[in-house]
Amino acid sequence: MYDLAVLVKAATKSTSEIVFMPYEEVYEVGFEDMPRRLPDISKIQQLIGYQPTRDLVEMLESIIAYERVQLEAKVKEKLLAA
């Protein structure tokens, strides 16, 4: 998870600190998450020959660009409403 946080921080040019928080502080009581995730696309690769076309960094950049546009639109909307 730390590696992903570093990638997101770099892609957003953030100066914020990466802070580790206890599970209990992040999720509500009773929430259960998998302790470890191991994504596997081998089945879809075998069935239809699927191959990803973008790597993690490209996907992050795309998501961040989209979210920035969404945020700018919300800010503009609030400014116009004021």
User: Per-residue pLDDT for the chain (82 aa), expressed as one digit of tens each?
Assistant: 899 999 999 999 999 999 999 888 888 888 888 878 888 999 999 999 999 999 999 999 999 999 999 999 999 999 999 8
Query: Distance between CA atoms of 19 and 22, rounded to whole angstroms?
Result: 10
Tell me, what's the pLDDT at 24?
85
Under 8 Å between Cβ of 15 and 21: no
Tell me, what's the pLDDT at 51?
95
